């Protein structure tokens, strides 16, 4: 029950609470009224039965003393005719013999013993269950029991019918009140929760990066304070996000500058040193030195050559000079071409509508790093046999697609997992967001993975010049 109520919306909870209150009050009032009315009706029935018995006892004694059985029958008939709820009247003598009765023949079985007046008691009341329903039976002594006993039975059907009718009316009134309460409570709940719904929509809009306007909520007595606090919090979050983005941009810029510096130092200084060493070893190998010295020089030259190639690869990974000199297409094409043999994968790189086009340096660096990270993930996690890279410029956007035929993964599970499990995706998303772009990952187990990046780039300088000339 608690879980069910917890799954309901605030509006539904308010409607259910008001409906439950109406039902409890209505049904509780109905039960209380029924019990109270039944008690009052039973008391009144007992008083009527005693009054009828006293009236009949006042005259039956004279009839019994004069042995006027006909007069006694006449009086009993008048009593039955005047009171429709009287089911029977029986007059017994002190020995228990029937002197007069409304029954055509003998008394029903068990009626004589069903109620009797105890010694010293003024009367006796009992409830009998008969074929015609419940009967309230009164036993009233005649002349203190010396002349006999009067038995009168009154049916409870009319009284019970009145109680049932009142109960039905109260239940109907409760149903009408419940229906009206549901309508009113739904309307009130809608009015009360509409500002909360707008506030929730505003929160979702903030999550999407939008700037919702909540002026209509400020005039609300209670929600207005929440809306003001929410807007203040939103402004603070935007400021913090802007500061975080600026800081991240500075960090990445500084990182790229450091990569560029280290790459140049490796390529220029360390590269020149290894090249000089390689040339010296070559001269030693070609000199007139001994055979053993030549063998050692050849081995050292091979190690030096391998170290030089490794160092140049590291320099390219840190910051390829091709990216700065020739642009993204050339740098990415060379990286993909080197990537395949190094990781034993079939690779394909295609560039569409990118002939002679240079993007902004920041955009080129971001797209290159995202492609680099995506390809690193393919070699580490995908278990793929081939990977395709597409770079396209379309409708003022640069689009990068990295697609593999590997094992894929459940994107929802990764998004809901620990931060460490989605750190690479978050890094790529952050880089794309820094230049106003978006990153989308499509994957499912056994169906490979595709990374889509779309970054607005606008027109190049050549296109602007062409438009102005025309």
Residues 280 and 235 in one domain: yes
Query: Domain boundary at 319, 343, 372, which?
Result: 319
Residues 78 and 28 in one domain: yes
Alpha carbons 302 and 296: distance in angstroms, whole number:
10
What pLDDT does residue 151 have?
92
Q: Is residue 196 part of a domain?
A: no
Residues 126 and 261 in one domain: no
Q: Is residue 187 part of a domain?
A: no
CB 51 within 8 A of CB 136: no
Query: Domain boundary at 146, 167, 188, which?
Result: 167
pTM over 0.75: no
CB 19 within 8 A of CB 175: no
Question: Within a 10 A sphere around the Cβ of 121, how many other Cβ atoms?
Answer: 11
Residues 28 and 123 in one domain: yes
Tokens of 24: 């409890």
Query: Domain boundary at 299, 319, 339, which?
Result: 319
Closest CA to 457 of 307, 354, 330: 354
Residues 339 and 287 in one domain: no
Domain of 77 in residue numbering reads as: 2-167
> Which residues does residue 449 pair with via DSSP β-bridges, in sequence order?
404, 443
**C-alpha count within 13 angstroms, C-beta hemisphere, residue 132:** 13
Phi, psi of 91 (to 5 degrees): -115, 120
Q: Is residue 126 part of a domain?
A: yes
Q: What is the DSSP string of 40-106?
A: HHHHHHHHHHHHHHHHHHHHHHHHHHTT-HHHHHHHHHHHHHH-TTEEEEEEE-TTS-EEEESSSSS
What pLDDT does residue 409 have?
81
Q: Is 266 left (phi over 0), alpha (psi -120 to 50) or beta?
A: alpha
Residues 302 and 334 in one domain: no
Q: Is residue 78 part of a domain?
A: yes
**Which pLDDT tens digits describe the chain residue by residue (470 residues)?**
556 555 667 778 888 888 889 889 989 999 999 899 989 988 999 998 999 988 888 878 778 878 888 888 898 898 999 998 899 999 988 888 888 889 887 888 888 888 888 888 899 999 998 887 889 999 999 888 888 899 999 998 888 888 899 999 999 999 999 899 888 888 887 777 777 677 677 767 766 666 665 665 555 666 666 666 767 777 777 777 667 667 766 766 776 667 777 767 666 667 677 777 777 777 777 776 677 777 777 878 788 787 777 777 776 666 677 777 788 888 888 888 888 888 888 889 988 887 777 888 888 888 888 888 888 888 887 888 889 999 988 888 889 999 888 888 877 777 665 555 556 677 788 888 888 888 888 888 888 888 999 988 854 444 444 344 43
Dihedral of alpha carbons 30, 32, 33, 38, sign = positive
Tokens of 313: 């690869």
Dihedral of alpha carbons 252, 256, 261, 263, sign = positive
Dihedral of alpha carbons 59, 60, 65, 67, sign = positive
Residues 335 and 456 in one domain: yes
Dihedral of alpha carbons 276, 279, 283, 289, sign = positive
Residues 331 and 309 in one domain: no
Q: What is the DSSP string of 220-281?
A: STTHHHHHHHHHHHHHHHHHHHHHHHHHHHHHHHHHHHHHHHHHHHIIIIIHHHHHHHHHHH
Alpha carbons 176 and 11: distance in angstroms, whole number:
21
Q: Is residue 344 part of a domain?
A: yes
Query: What b/e sequence results for 330-368 when a residue is b if at least 16 CB atoms lie within 10 Å of its CB, and e otherwise?
Result: ebbbbbbeebbeeeebebebebeebeebebeebbbbbbb
Closest CA to 59 of 100, 11, 119, 23: 100
Q: What is the DSSP string of 184-227?
A: HHHHHHHHHHHHHHHHHHHHHHHHTT-----HHHHTSTTHHHHH
Alpha carbons 372 and 310: distance in angstroms, whole number:
18
Q: Is residue 179 part of a domain?
A: no
Alpha carbons 132 and 126: distance in angstroms, whole number:
16
What pLDDT does residue 461 have?
45
Residues 326 and 315 in one domain: no
Q: Is residue 87 part of a domain?
A: yes
Alpha carbons 160 and 166: distance in angstroms, whole number:
10
Residues 257 and 146 in one domain: no
Element (H, E) at 387: strand 386-394
Tokens of 464: 């602007």
CATH number at residue 361: 3.30.565.10
What pLDDT does residue 468 have?
42
Percent of the chain as helix, strand, coil, to the nearest 5? 65, 15, 20
Residues 103 and 86 in one domain: yes
Q: Is residue 186 part of a domain?
A: no
CB 385 within 8 A of CB 405: yes
CATH number at residue 87: 3.30.450.20
**Which residues are within 8 A (CB) of 145 and not within 5 positions of it... i.e. 6 or more apart?**
94, 117
What pLDDT does residue 459 have?
46
Residues 28 and 108 in one domain: yes
Q: Is 441 helix (H, G, I), strand (E, B) or coil?
A: strand
- How many domains does the chain fold into? 3
């Amino acid at each position: 029950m608690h879980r069910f109520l917890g799954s309901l919306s605030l509006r539904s909870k308010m409607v259910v609470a008001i409906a439950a209150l109406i039902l409890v009050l209505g049904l509780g009032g109905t039960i209380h009224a029924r019990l109270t009315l039944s008690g009052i009706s039973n008391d009144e029935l007992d008083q009527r039965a005693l009054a009828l018995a006293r009236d009949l006892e006042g005259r039956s004694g004279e009839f019994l003393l004069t042995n006027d059985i006909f007069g006694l029958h006449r009086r009993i008939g008048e009593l039955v005719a005047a009171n429709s709820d009287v089911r029977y009247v029986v007059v017994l003598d002190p020995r228990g013999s029937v002197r007069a009765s409304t029954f055509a023949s003998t008394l029903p079985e068990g009626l004589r013993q069903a109620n009797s007046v105890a010694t010293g008691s003024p009367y006796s009341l009992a409830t009998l269950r008969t074929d015609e329903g419940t009967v309230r039976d009164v036993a009233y002594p005649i002349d203190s029991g010396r002349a006999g006993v009067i038995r009168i039975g009154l049916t409870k059907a009319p009284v019970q019918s009145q109680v049932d009718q009142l109960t039905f009316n109260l239940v109907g009134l409760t149903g009408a009140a419940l229906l009206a309460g549901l309508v009113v409570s739904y309307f009130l709940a809608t009015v009360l929760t509409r500002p909360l719904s707008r506030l929730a929509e505003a929160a979702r809009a903030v999550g999407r990066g939008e700037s919702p306007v909540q002026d209509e909520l400020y005039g609300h007595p209670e929600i207005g304070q929440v809306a003001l606090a929410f807007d203040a919090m939103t402004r603070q979050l935007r400021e913090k996000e802007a500061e975080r983005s600026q800081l991240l941009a500075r960090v990445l810029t500084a990182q790229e500058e450091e990569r560029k510096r280290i790459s140049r130092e490796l390529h220029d200084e360390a590269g020149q040193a290894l090249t000089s060493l390689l040339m010296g070893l070559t001269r030693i190998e070609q000199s007139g030195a001994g055979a053993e010295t030549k063998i050692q020089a050849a081995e050292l030259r091979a190690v030096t050559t391998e170290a030089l190639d490794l160092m140049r690869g590291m320099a390219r990974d840190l910051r390829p000079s091709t990216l700065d000199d020739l642009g993204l297409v050339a740098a990415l094409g060379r990286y993909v071409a080197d990537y395949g043999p190094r990781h034993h994968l079939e690779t394909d790189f295609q560039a569409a509508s990118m002939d002679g086009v240079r993007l902004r340096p920041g955009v080129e660096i971001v797209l290159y790093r995202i492609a680099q990270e995506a390809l690193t993930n393919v070699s580490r996690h995908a278990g793929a046999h081939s990977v395709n890279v597409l770079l396209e410029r379309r409708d003022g956007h640069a689009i990068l697609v990295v697609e593999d035929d590997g094992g894929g993964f459940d994107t929802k599970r990764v998004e809901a997992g620990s931060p460490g499990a989605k750190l690479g995706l978050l890094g790529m998303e952050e880089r794309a967001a820094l230049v106003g772009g978006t990153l989308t990952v499509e994957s499912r187990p056994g169906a490979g993975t595709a990374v889509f990046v779309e970054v607005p780039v606008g027109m190049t300088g050549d296109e602007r010049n062409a438009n102005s000339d025309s």
